[in-house]
Chain A
Amino acid sequence: MESQTHLLTWMTFFPLIGAVLVLITPSRAKTFIKQLAFVFTLPSLALGVQMLRLYDPAAGLQFVERVSWISYFNIEYYIGADGLSVPMLFLTVLLCPICILASWGINDRVKGYFALFLLLETGMLGVFSALDFFLFYVFWELMLLPMYFLIGIWGGPRREYAAIKFFLYTLFGSVFLLIAMIVIYLNTGGSFDLVALREQIASSPLGSAARVQWWLFLGMYVAFAIKIPAFPFHTWLPDAHVEAPTAISVILAGILLKMGTYGILRIAYPLFPEMAQQFALFIAIIALINIVYGALCAMAQTDLKKLVAYSSISHMGYVMLGMAALTPEGMNGAVLQMFNHGTITAMLFLLVGVIYDRAHHRNIDGFGGLAKNLPIYSGFTCLAFFASLGLPGLSGFISEALVFLGAFPVFMVITIIGLSGIVITAAYILWTYQRVFLGPLNEKYAELPDCSIREQVMLYPLAFIVILLGVFPHLILQIFQPTMMQLIEIVTKG
């Protein structure tokens, strides 16, 4: 179904127009630049809402646009959205304006920050909408550049180290993706078309070369696992998250991590269904390590932001476990968890940012009794914390339950051990809440102001979604369910 409205193109490139406008604005006009950047994320959000309204779950790939780009290599500007990309695209356009609001406190090199941020948004939306392998790769790499500067210039004390570490890790992964891409291209007679590639591979010499497939799948897995980040490639994440400014942590945890799992579901699984089955146990074991090890690490942290960072590693483990199970509940749970983790962890990082702006430290033991004077802030934190530990009625519960339901029949032992992750998560979250918000008030922070209007505007939409999806998960489940069922059919049949 060709789209006449170019909805996805406009959604993807509106922020880029904003970036150019920000660049030509004089750097003195700081507030104007911030307003401009905010305004230019809104059309994408509006288009995202429109996309949700227009999307017909039964119809498969939609909003397709296809134009030849590099005809010599059969590269196309080929974008579209299916049930897998729609939630991710929506998550991106939703978080970006919120992050601009969260960046209001940036006062150093304002112009560069917001221009790079908008460029980053274009890159992320491009990744989620690309259906041409080459295009996907270009957007995938394009994101690295703004991210490097955003962490490296506006980050915390160890920002330079964190930025280059993030850059090197991700580039290391993506070069293997590049090799896999070229090998596939050469073997299928010159195709980058992600939709058609599955059948083209099956009918090419590659279709029967299990050894080559194994290596290619491994290469892709490394590229995507670094982004997730799956054990043992996770060590960049705590550094990057802790050093990045609040808004960038939100983007990192909320969107960038999802690109790893999105890449596996979009590219690795459908292209090599047999390998997806072969690797299932391996991915499940890695997922288990992520869940338990991530949670244990989180428990040991004294820095609030680092705690949230490690909890992300743990929560992405659920996504991987659901993916590995290859059952309807598991796969749907995985995608739902991707979306839910995006909103919940975004809230958590925003909340950490709020308290850091006031107290200028993030030491968990350095607070105490904050609930007394900061009722709104404590309320939001309470909601986000409980959503994160999977309290029924909030969105995190549904996705975790689905993942475990789906994984149990396939990996019984792993799932049972994995369930301990929930207990550990509950432990560190409740313990943290107790140390920061309960107990006697730390007199040093008696005068802290509660959340401002701007901060509440950032948090309300996310809180609303967390509660809404906790009660009516089918609102979003129905979007990607048909797509996931189709993917399961492809993988298990192959």
Chain B
Amino acid sequence: MGNIESLAYFIPELILTATVLAVLFADVLGGEREGFDPPANFAFVGCVAAFLAHFTLYSLPSTPLFNGILIHDPFGAFFKGFFIFCTGVTTAMVIVSREVARFKKGEFCVIILCVCIGMCLVAASRDLLMIYLSLELMSLGSYVMAGFSRKIGPSEEASLKFVLYGGVSTGIMLFGISLLYGLTGGTSFEAVRSALAGAGSGIEPIAFLALLMVLVGVGYKVAMVPFHFWAPDVYEGAPTAVTAFLSVASKGTGFALLIRFFFSVFMQPAEGGWATLAPLHFDWGLTIAVLSAITMTVGNIGAYPQTNLKRLLAYSGVAHAGYLLMGVSLMTSTGVEAVIFYLVMYLFTNMTAFFVILVVSESLGTERIAGFRGLWRGAPVAAFMMTLALFSLVGLPPTAGFVGKLYLFYAVLQQKLYWLAVIGVLNSVLSLYYYARIIKAMYLETSSETEPAVHSSPLAGLILIVMAAPVLYFGVFWNPLVEYARYCAHLMQ
């Protein structure tokens, strides 16, 4: 499809771009006056508009866009909606909090919107170059965002670590991409795939090496072991809103890329599902399955000694990356459905958890678990929402987390990977202990000081309820979400 016709499929991104410009102007015109933050509000409205606009995408037929550099399909549409939603929530978190200095809020919003556009492009790319460019657009913005906190020291440390690790892993990924280009002489997924399919078995070792190198880049984005070392430091140092954004949207980007890239390049549709591309024999599914088992175990064990909530949730995020990788490793549509389902539940659950941390730590000035002692007395609603989110992360009914895990294990057992399912469920049990430590602090222990007083605006309460309600709702009535996940699991080759 040509450039002009493609614009109809590009409305959410266009809205975001227009919002970026509007926020920039508002920020410049507003100057550095205290008590002025329409830029952030503009950004939020832009996100809402873009999110609403993304619904129009579902009714459009799947097609390549912009002369084949991007693609439109339900899978891409889902991730666009996912990223825009995350961005909107993060913007709202920035608006209601004081983490980002008021006069910097406009600047922050410009960056996060650019990151969001980058993410949307990643989900829709079907060209090696486009993937790299959009990934960089997203990464560079994320590095800056991590350093946006008022607490100068840790935040800058976080940002720097993020850049260093990120630069190396993106470099390795780029090298993998160049290998693929060298092997096949094409940059579009289609060209690469057909060249691989036509090549002899002699290219296999190099193709596998290229695959692994791309996996490094993706593994870094989703915090897969052994590329997870940045996560705890960055999560701890970055502003909480940014941590929330990274933990959900950045992870989502990694999975969008992983599924899009691997399914389009190394696989072919087979009857009733997918199969590895004919001349290739390596079992990359098994590679990822093993990595997923290691990732979840390392994440869960790493979370045990943590005393800082954001660090703890960083390790928990590593563990959840492991669960999600299970779904990818299966190379089935059910696996992709399960990943989509899980990501939706993870979005609401994790955002709820981080939002509680944000609200509470702003009032109490601590992000340590010990600081949450006796929280139920000072902030019963926040404590309850946090509990709900934590139970959902463990995967206990009647929360969405339970259904997400159920769906994943269902997909795993469908492929008869019993060992992976057993490791997965044992990890769930393992994770209960450290999540329960937070619940224990909030309800079972009492604060040594006078009861913690948490002050939050009614707006913050409203956002919290909007984020937490689906955690419970989708845990009980998940039919619509299954339907949606099934629809969105359609990838276009």
In the complex, what residues of B have CB within 8 A of residue A167's CB?
A: 432, 436
Q: Within 8 Å of chain B (Cβ to Cβ): is A317? A: no
Among B409, B440, B483, point to the contact of A182 (Cβ < 8 A): B409
Chain B interface residues toward A at CB < 8 A: 391, 394, 396-398, 402, 406, 409-410, 413-414, 418, 421-422, 425-426, 428-429, 432-433, 436, 440, 443-445, 478-479, 482-483, 486
List the A side residues contacting B486 at CB < 8 Å: 72
Q: Are A183 and B482 in contact (CB under 8 A)?
A: no
Q: Are B478 and A70 in contact (CB under 8 A)?
A: yes
Task: Give the residues in chain B near A144, CB-CB below 8 Å.
Answer: 396
On whether the beta carbons of B444 and A175 are closer than 8 Å, the reply is no
Q: Is A138 positioned at the interface, with any CB of B under 8 Å from its CB?
A: yes
CA distance A69 to B403 in the complex (A): 14
Instruction: Please tell me if A137 contacts chain B, counting CB pairs below 8 Å.
Output: yes
Q: Of the listed stretches A36-44, A51-59, A157-165, A328-336, name the one at the interface; the rest are far from the partner chain.
A: A157-165
A413 within 8 A of B: no
The number of residue pairs between A and B whose CB atoms lie closer than 8 Å in the complex comes to: 73
* CB contact under 8 A between A179 and B422, given known A72-B483, A142-B397, A186-B413: yes
B479-A70 in contact (CB<8A): yes
Give A168 to B437 CA distance when docked, in angstroms. 12
The stretch of A145-153, A318-326, A481-489 in contact with B is A145-153
Q: Which of A123-161 contact B (CB under 8 A)?
A: 137-138, 141-142, 144-145, 148-149, 152-153, 159-160
**Contacts A137-B397, A163-B444, A176-B425: A183 and B413 contacting too (C-beta < 8 A)?**
yes
Q: Across the interface, name the chain A residue whose C-beta is closest to B428.
A: A175
What's the Cα separation between A164 and B434 when bound, in Å?
10
**With known contacts A138-B397, A186-B413, A178–B429 Cβ distance under 8 A:** no
Residues of B within 8 A of A141 (CB): 396-397, 402
A171 near B432 (CB under 8 angstroms)?
A: yes
Q: A171-B394, A179-B425 are in contact. List 17 more A-B contacts (CB 8 A).
A: A69-B479, A70-B479, A73-B482, A138-B402, A142-B398, A144-B396, A145-B391, A153-B443, A159-B444, A164-B440, A167-B432, A175-B425, A178-B406, A182-B409, A182-B410, A186-B410, A186-B414
Q: Is the interface of B mostly helix, strand, loop or mixed?
A: helix
A71 interface contact, C-beta 8 A: yes
What's the least CB distance linking B476 to chain A, in Å? 9
The answer for the CA separation of A337 and B397 in the assembled complex, in Å, is 31
- Per the bound structure, the CA–CA distance linking A138 and B426 in Å amounts to 18
**A185 contacts across to B, CB distance below 8 A:** 410
Expressed in whole angstroms, the Cα–Cα distance for A304 and B436 within the complex equals 30
Asked whether A160 lies within 8 Å of B444 as measured between CB atoms, the reply is yes
Given A160-B440, A179-B421: A138 touches B398 (CB 8 Å cut-off): yes
Q: Which residue of A lies closest to B437 (CB)?
A: A164
List B contacts of A153 (CB < 8 A).
443-444
What is the distance, in angstroms, from A211's C-beta to the closest C-beta of chain B? 12
Q: How far is the CB of B333 from chain A (nearest CB, A)?
A: 14
Chain B residues with CB below 8 A from A183, complex form: 413
Contact A178 B479 (CB under 8 A): no
**Is A10 at the interface (CB under 8 A from chain B)?**
no
Show 22 A/B contacts (Cβ-Cβ < 8 Å), sorted by A: A70-B479, A72-B482, A72-B483, A142-B398, A145-B391, A149-B443, A152-B444, A153-B443, A160-B440, A164-B433, A168-B429, A168-B432, A168-B433, A171-B394, A172-B426, A175-B429, A178-B425, A179-B418, A179-B425, A182-B406, A185-B410, A186-B414
